């Protein structure tokens, strides 16, 4: 029996090295001879001298901003399938952490997310989709860690200033209300709370926030600061013991796998609290695989959180397809499980928060790295990556050149791991299509007679997980429907009495917030409408436009007719528009070009070539006033454009040579109340 086990061990050793070299095609015997004759670098994995830092998990961000906007519009079963790939344990990405934006009504990269308090006395904990997303994540993984972080804030907190720290108690109350609302209305326990994404922190505010959390019985909610750079927060903590006491985690963004001395001197947990934000191609997957290991090896970071969770926003917005997977076609049901999902699985499916890194981790001799983690009860997971420079460059920061080459790496298990009999093996190769392999389980590796030693034949752009856990799985659902463009004919009358979400499908707010609205006194056609609900500029995170705007449709639309009923609520100064060929959004929204058809309550109209109104094609007087419904029609065909008011031509054949294509849009002249109804687009693509 012993001889049988010994022979099986040798055979499986040969199999694992054959598979490790890439795809099938290399013979076992030559490779085994290569491994026996060629020199190999030696690495020891040992817990005899104690363990390294506690592992806090791998996660992703929904928000910053509106990055999950289109996900909620998917029909079943596709929406649930996408969520499974993100959150379901031992299935796909199996994320440990979900970080969401605390909506603040402002533009925060790809759109705006609504606040739970637009105004001082206004509280509504059912706006937006982050509540729903957190519940769906919890439904799949009850142990998932939840984090909230504000990017922008509603304007009333600033008291006329674009600054959230004017009244520290008021801002702390606003944030604590969000945490309490999560529990009261959705039974969600928020685990961590942040300060202000990538902006200034106020030491006194952080202390006030901690006191208010404690007063409200939220002692278990921990504080992350400052979600920007390692400095100046680290130095501030070393110089201020009261500040040091109330901060639980130092979170830095895009640290390039490195930290700074002062951050380590604080002896606090160090996280890469936002990272990745890279196109989810195989190069992006290589970026993600490299930093998941090296953030700890180089910078002692015990958690890495990707921006963003799922690319579920119009692709031509900034940072298109920079999510772990892609789900940007709710109208077709199509989605793509991109390679970063399976790179994530190499770590998340075989570790959990509360495990510990070994002290014996590091870089491979000829490029790449290895980490090892244990649960302290005999389980061990080893992750090895050999991502090349060319195929693992992240969007930021700059990556200094390094080289990765073919190598043999011999690992020896010592300490409490020396008697491990078997390791499960999972393998990824990011390469040309014929060699590409994503999260494939190979034959297990038997160590019964090897003295805890095994050798891996490592090529460029490979990822191995070797683990005692047997629960790993490459989950799958039936293939989703094929990709389709946004419908050329699209209508929405907003006739929803009790909407499940506050925003209608497919509209992506870029400045301002557009919500379903019920006119209680209107018993006719316009009882249910879409309303722009902000009348005050928010405390901005980026350069929001002076006008509010929501885009929809296909960026490639060229010839189109847009019709919409509009209702100006502001006397004398109010104005609304419909638009086509809108060519920019997100953080670039201020410079959006297109064809914009405006009417104003002072009895005038304008046609402009940009959202800001610097380029006027034509203008004039018109019989328009506030508190009356009008129907606007915008026709764009080739280089000519015409417009109608209530079905009658108002201007015809204006030359509009640029841009050639873009989204449709609606909006208001300023932050003002206005309503829209019976939206209709007929379009053709260029």
Beta strand residue intervals within 333-398, DSSP E = 334-336, 356-358, 362-363, 369-374, 380-385
User: Going by C-beta distance under 8 Å and a sequence separation of 6 or more, which residues neighbour residue 192?
Assistant: 145, 146, 147, 148, 221, 222, 223, 224, 248, 249
CA separation for the pair 413, 420 (Å, rounded): 8
The backbone torsions φ and ψ at residue 32, rounded to the nearest 5 degrees and listed phi first, read -65, -40
The torsion angle over the Cα atoms of residues 19, 86, 305 and 58, rounded to 10 degrees, is -60
Cα dihedral: 388, 392, 398, 399 (round 10): -20
Q: Is residue 672 annotated as a catalytic residue, yes or no?
A: no
Pairwise CA distance, residues 14 & 8, whole Å: 10
Place of tokens 């397809």: 321
- Burial of residue 472 (number of CB atoms within 10 Å: 0-12, 13-18, 19+): buried
The pair of three-digit structure tokens given for residue 335, joined into one six-digit string = 């989605």
Q: Are 147 and 153 in contact (CB under 8 A)?
A: no
Q: b/e per residue, 527-545, with b = 16+ CB within 10 A? A: bbbbbbbbbebbbbbbebb
Half-sphere CA count of 470, side-chain side, radius 13 A: 4
Helices (H), 88-202: 130-140, 168-186
Q: What is d(CA 129, CA 147) in angstroms, rounded to the nearest whole number? A: 15
d(CA 543, CA 533): 19
Give the whole-angstrom CA distance, residue 567 versus residue 394.
Answer: 46
| DSSP letter, residue 419 | T
Neighbouring residues of 147: CB distance < 8 A, sequence distance ≥ 6: 59, 97, 98, 99, 100, 190, 191, 192, 193, 194, 224, 305
Q: Which of 81, 113, 136, 274 is catalytic?
A: 274
What value does the CA radius of gyration of the chain take, rounded to a whole number of Å? 28
SS3 (DSSP) at 281: coil
CA distance 148 to 197: 10
How wide is the angle at C-alpha 551 spanned by C-alphas 316 and 84, nearest 5°? 65
DSSP strand pairing (629-637 vs 528-532): unpaired
Backbone torsions φ then ψ of 271, nearest 5 degrees: -125, 145
> C-alpha distances in angstroms, 69 versus 110, 311, 312, 336, 521?
9, 9, 6, 16, 31
Which residues face 559 on adjacent strands? Answer: 684
> Is 101 an annotated catalytic residue?
no
Marked catalytic residue, from 123, 198, 365, 682: 198
Q: Which residues contact 223 (CB under 8 A, 6 or more apart)?
A: 192, 193, 194, 195, 206, 209, 210, 213, 246, 247, 248, 249
Counting DSSP H helices and E strands in the chain, the numbers are: 11, 36
- Mode of pairing for the β-strands spanning 249-253 and 269-276: parallel
Strands 528-532 and 674-685: antiparallel
Nearest to 580 by CA among 606, 554, 546, 548: 554
Catalytic residues: 198, 274
């Amino acid at each position: 029996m012993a001889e049988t086990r010994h022979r099986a061990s040798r055979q499986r050793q040969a199999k694992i090295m054959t598979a490790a070299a890439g795809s099938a095609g290399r013979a076992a015997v030559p490779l085994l001879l290569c491994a026996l004759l060629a020199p190999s670098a030696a690495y020891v994995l040992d817990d005899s001298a104690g363990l390294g830092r506690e592992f806090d998990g791998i996660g992703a961000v929904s928000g910053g901003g509106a990055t999950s906007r289109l996900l909620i519009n998917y029909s079943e079963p596709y929406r649930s399938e996408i969520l499974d790939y993100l959150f379901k344990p031992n299935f796909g990405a199996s994320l440990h952490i979900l970080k969401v934006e605390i909506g603040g009504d402002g533009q925060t990269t790809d759109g705006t997310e609504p606040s739970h308090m637009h105004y001082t006395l206004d509280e509504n904990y059912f706006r937006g989709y982050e509540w729903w997303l957190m519940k769906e994540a919890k439904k799949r993984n009850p142990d998932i860690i939840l984090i909230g972080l504000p990017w922008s804030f509603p304007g009333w907190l600033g008291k006329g200033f674009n600054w959230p720290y004017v009244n520290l108690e008021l801002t702390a109350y606003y944030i604590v209300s969000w945490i309490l609302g999560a529990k009261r209305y959705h039974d969600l326990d928020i685990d961590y709370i942040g300060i202000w994404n990538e902006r200034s922190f106020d030491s006194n505010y952080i202390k006030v926030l901690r006191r208010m959390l404690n007063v409200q019985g939220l002692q278990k909610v921990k504080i992350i600061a400052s979600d920007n750079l390692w400095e100046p927060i680290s130095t501030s903590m070393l110089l201020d013991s009261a500040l040091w006491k109330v901060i639980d985690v130092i979170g830095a963004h895009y640290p390039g796998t490195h930290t700074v001395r002062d951050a380590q001197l604080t002896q606090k947990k160090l996280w890469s609290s936002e990272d990745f934000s890279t196109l989810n191609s195989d190069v992006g997957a290589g970026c993600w695989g490299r930093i998941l290991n090296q953030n700890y090896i180089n910078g002692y970071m015990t958690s890495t959180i990707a921006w963003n969770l799922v690319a579920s926003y119009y692709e031509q917005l900034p940072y298109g397809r920079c999510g772990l997977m892609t789900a940007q076609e709710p109208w077709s049901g199509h989605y793509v499980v991109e390679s970063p999902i399976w790179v994530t699985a190499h770590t998340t499916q075989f570790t959990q928060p509360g495990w510990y890194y070994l002290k014996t981790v590091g870089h491979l001799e000829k490029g790449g790295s290895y980490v090892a983690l244990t649960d302290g009860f005999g389980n061990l997971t080893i992750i090895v990556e050999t991502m090349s420079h060319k195929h693992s460059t992240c969007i930021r920061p700059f990556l200094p050149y390094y080289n990765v080459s073919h190598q043999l790496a011999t690992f020896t298990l010592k300490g409490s791991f020396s008697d491990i009999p078997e390791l499960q093996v999972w393998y990824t190769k990011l390469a040309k299509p014929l060699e590409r392999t994503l999260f494939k389980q190979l034959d297990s590796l038997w160590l019964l007679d090897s003295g805890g030693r095994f050798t891996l034949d490592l090529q460029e752009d490979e990822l191995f997980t070797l683990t005692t856990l047997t629960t790993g799985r490459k989950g799958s659902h039936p293939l989703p429907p094929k990709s389709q463009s946004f419908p050329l004919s699209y209508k929405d009358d907003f006739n929803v009495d009790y909407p499940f979400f506050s925003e209608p499908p497919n509209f992506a707010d870029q400045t301002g917030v557009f919500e379903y609205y019920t006119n209680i006194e209107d018993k006719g056609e316009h009882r249910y409408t879409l309303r722009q609900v902000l009348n005050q500029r928010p405390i901005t995170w980026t350069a929001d436009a002076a006008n509010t705007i929501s885009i929809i449709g296909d960026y490639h639309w060229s010839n189109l007719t847009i019709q919409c009923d509009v209702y100006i609520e502001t006397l004398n100064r109010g104005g609304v528009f419909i638009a086509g060929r809108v060519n920019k959004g997100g953080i670039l929204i201020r410079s959006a070009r297109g064809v914009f058809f405006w009417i104003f309550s002072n009895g005038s109209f304008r046609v402009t070539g940009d959202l800001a109104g610097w380029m006027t094609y034509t203008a004039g007087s018109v019989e328009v006033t506030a508190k009356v419904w009008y129907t606007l029609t915008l026709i764009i065909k080739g280089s000519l454009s015409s417009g109608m008011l209530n079905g009658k031509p108002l201007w015809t054949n204006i030359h509009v040579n640029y841009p050639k294509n873009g989204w449709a849009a609606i909006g208001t002249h300023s932050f003002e109340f206005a309503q829209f109804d019976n939206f209709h687009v007929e379009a053709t693509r260029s």
